[in-house]
Amino acid sequence: MHINANTVIFNRTILLVPYGKHHVKKYHTWMQNEEILELTASLPLSIEEEYHMQQTWLNDNDKCTFIILSKELFDQTHDEIKSMIGDVNLFLNDSDDIHCGELEIMIAEVTARRKGYGLETLYTFLRYGKFKFHLFNKLFFLAAIEILHITRFIVKIGLKNLPSIALFTKKFQFQTIETSEVFQEVTMERRVDDEFIKLLQMKTPDYKIDSYDKLNIDRTV
- The answer to whether position 212 is within a domain reads no
Query: pLDDT confidence of 129, banded at 50, 70, 90?
Result: low
d(CA 216, CA 144): 28
- The answer to whether position 41 is within a domain reads yes
d(CA 159, CA 185): 5
Distances (CA, A) of 70 to 19, 26, 118, 157, 202: 15, 15, 11, 24, 21
- The answer to whether position 123 is within a domain reads yes
pTM for the complete prediction?
Answer: 0.89
For residue 191, what is the domain's CATH number? Answer: 3.40.630.30
* pLDDT tens-digit series, residues 70-112: 999 999 999 999 999 999 998 888 888 877 889 999 999 999 9
Distances (CA, A) of 75 to 70, 106, 112: 9, 22, 16
- The answer to whether position 125 is within a domain reads yes
- Total domains, the chain: 1
What pLDDT score does 136 carry? 38
d(CA 120, CA 94): 26
* pLDDT tens-digit series, residues 196-219: 888 988 999 999 889 999 888 888
d(CA 206, CA 185): 34
What pLDDT score does 131 carry? 43
Per the structure, the complete domain to which residue 185 belongs is given by 2-207
* pLDDT tens-digit series, residues 145-187: 655 567 889 999 989 889 889 989 999 999 999 999 998 899 9
What pLDDT score does 80 carry? 96
- The answer to whether position 17 is within a domain reads yes
Select from 2, 130, 141, 27 the least CA-distant residue to 80.
27
What pLDDT score does 109 carry? 96
142, 129 contact by CB (below 8 A): yes
- The answer to whether position 99 is within a domain reads yes
What pLDDT score does 219 carry? 83
- The answer to whether position 167 is within a domain reads yes
- The answer to whether position 14 is within a domain reads yes
* pLDDT tens-digit series, residues 13-39: 999 999 999 999 999 999 999 989 887
What pLDDT score does 133 carry? 39
